[in-house]
Chains A and B, each alone.
Chain A
Amino acid sequence: MAKLFGQFRFLVGALALALLVAMAMPASAQRNPDGSVNPTAQSVKEKQLLDALGAGGAISGRVSIPDQKSANLIHPAGRDWREFHEVTLRWIGAIAILGMLVILMAFYLIRGQVKLESGLSGRRIVRFNGFERFVHWMTATCFVILALSGLNITFGKLLLPPLIGEPAFATYAQYAKYSHNYLSFPFTIGVFCIFLMWIAGNIPNKVDVEWLKEGGGIVGDKHPPAHRFNAGQKMIYWIVVLGGTLVAASGYLLMFPFYATDIEGQQLAQIVHGVIAVLFVAAMLGHIYIGTIGMEGAFEAMGEGTVDVNWAKEHHSLWLEEENARTGPNETQRQPYPAPAE
């Protein structure tokens, strides 16, 4: 009896094992060779698809065209990325850009324009030569169009269709995208030229620490000494060089998709591009403010290439001394003040 019971127990065990193997086979058939769930397998369960999504995997099928990426039906990480560019990036951009505008407006209302305290001397000194101004304006005009067309990608479909209608927005967005792609080339060349052209004057030094301690002559009434570029201008320089390099590199990864990265790399490039770009726009608003309405006489440096000697004395006294030592004070030009149309 005991022997018969033992044989029966062996038989039940063998059957259970066979059942387990039989159940396991369909499970392996439901998976692709890379371990992801094959959604076209006959025995695939909805639960398996949901589990694959929850674990951060992908649901892939099989395609016969060369682009194997198109076999990917659902990539859950894409949801996080969509959340980023539809929600998070908009918040970062809105806070950075609107926040900067509010700060600048408040600063203008409280501090007003930084005036030339000693008045015009009537003598002018060359601040930027023709090539420097050419490179600056090429980079700047490209930046403005890149910024507007780039912001259109993030905010356009939210803000513009109610104002101009969807067909007009579609046409505008298409040409904005073309200009965004192609103006990236002169912008990148401009950033590279700026890097080479002004690197010598933009290495931080002790004078910058003192300049910052005294508020740069912008906060307060002092006029701390500065070389050709003060600490604030050096910050702008490095924002342009480093920020410009990052947006250009990430932008070219997006312009040439999947040449150098996979899908995760593409998403990362878009995140870097978007975040750096909106911070870049905010920083440039500050630069535009101080170079135009924020400081009397500042625009002429890049507009005409020359500044009044008293302006140089107040804002870049060490640079003026260096220039006088190099060329002699008589090199400064006595000339009429530029007409507003210039």
Chain B
Amino acid sequence: MKSFVLACIAAVAIAVIGGVVLSSIQEPAAEAFSTTGVRL
């Protein structure tokens, strides 16, 4: 039971870390697919 609970906590922690890292390095679509002369 302890292994299962720890596994669930680890899965959520890794997922959250992954989400935070991706959000910080990815460019929002409004910036990625526009030029300075385009307003989306």
Measured CB to CB, the residues of A under 8 A from B are 64-67, 70, 130, 133-138, 140-142, 178-179, 181-187, 189, 303, 305, 342
CB < 8 Å neighbour of A64 from B1, B8, B15, B38: B38
Q: Which residues of B contact A184 (CB under 8 A)?
A: 18
The contact size tier of chain B is: 20 to 34
Query: Once the chains bind, are A141 and B11 in contact (CB under 8 Å)?
Result: yes
CB < 8 Å neighbour of B10 from A64, A136, A186, A303: A186
- Taking chain B's interface residues, is the majority helix, strand, or loop, or is none over half, making it mixed? helix
Query: Once the chains bind, are A134 and B11 in contact (CB under 8 Å)?
Result: no
Query: Once the chains bind, are B34 and A137 in contact (CB under 8 Å)?
Result: no
Q: A65-B33, A183-B11 are in contact. Are A137 and B4 (CB under 8 A)?
A: yes
Q: Which residues of B contact A66 (CB under 8 A)?
A: 32-35
Closest to B3 in A: A133
Q: B11, B19, B35: which has the most chain A beta carbons within 10 Å?
A: B11
Q: Which residues of B contact A183 (CB under 8 A)?
A: 11, 15
Q: A65, A140, A179, A189: which has the most chain B beta carbons within 10 Å?
A: A65
CA distance A184 to B6 in the complex (A): 18
List residues of B (1-40) whose CB comes within 8 Å of A's CBs.
Answer: 1-4, 6-8, 10-11, 14-19, 32-35, 38
Query: Once the chains bind, are A189 and B33 in contact (CB under 8 Å)?
Result: no
Rounded to whole Å, the gap between the CB of A78 and the closest CB of chain B is 19
CA distance A186 to B15 in the complex (A): 6
Measured CB to CB, the residues of B under 8 A from A are 1-4, 6-8, 10-11, 14-19, 32-35, 38
Q: A133-B3, A137-B3 are in contact. Are A189 and B35 (CB under 8 A)?
A: no
Rounded to whole Å, the gap between the CB of B33 and the closest CB of chain A is 5
Closest to A179 in B: B15
Query: Once the chains bind, are B11 and A186 in contact (CB under 8 Å)?
Result: yes
Q: Which residues of A contact B16 (CB under 8 A)?
A: 182
Closest to A187 in B: B11
Query: Once the chains bind, are A141 and B7 in contact (CB under 8 Å)?
Result: yes
Q: Which 8 A-B pairs give the minimum distances between C-beta atoms?
A: A137-B7, A138-B7, A133-B3, A182-B15, A185-B18, A186-B14, A186-B11, A67-B33
Rounded to whole Å, the gap between the CB of B11 and the closest CB of chain A is 4
Rounded to whole Å, the gap between the CB of A259 and the closest CB of chain B is 11
Q: Which residues of B contact A342 (CB under 8 A)?
A: 1
Q: A64-B35, A65-B35, A66-B33 are in contact. Are A189 and B14 (CB under 8 A)?
A: yes
Q: Which residues of B contact A179 (CB under 8 A)?
A: 15
Closest to A183 in B: B15
Q: Which residues of B contact A138 (CB under 8 A)?
A: 7-8, 10-11
